[in-house]
Amino acid sequence: MPVDEDQVRALARLHTIEIAPGHMPGVIRNLEALLVQAALLNDPPLDATVEPAPVYRP
């Protein structure tokens, strides 16, 4: 998902942080990478018949 500078500035204002102009390209790249990673967790469909495990065992 492409992210533009206006979106990053809006998020920065929301969280009351300043982003130096020289850091903006890196912030945009990292936010795009974060959105790709989040999509890997959120996008796969879940089967309605699968129930969660009662106990987590790593």
CB 46 within 8 A of CB 56: no
Cα–Cα distance, 20 to 1 (Å, whole number)? 23
Q: What is the pLDDT of residues 32-55, one digit of tens each?
A: 999 999 999 888 887 888 887 788
Cα Rg of the chain (Å, integer): 17
Q: Quote the pLDDT of residue 19.
A: 96
Query: Residue 11: pLDDT band by 50, 70, 90 thresholds?
Result: very high
Q: What is the pLDDT of residues 12-31, one digit of tens each?
A: 999 999 999 999 999 999 99
The domain spans of the chain are 5-42
**DSSP code per residue over the chain:** ----HHHHHHHHHHTT----GGGHHHHHHHHHHHHHHHHHHHSSPPPTTPPPPSS---
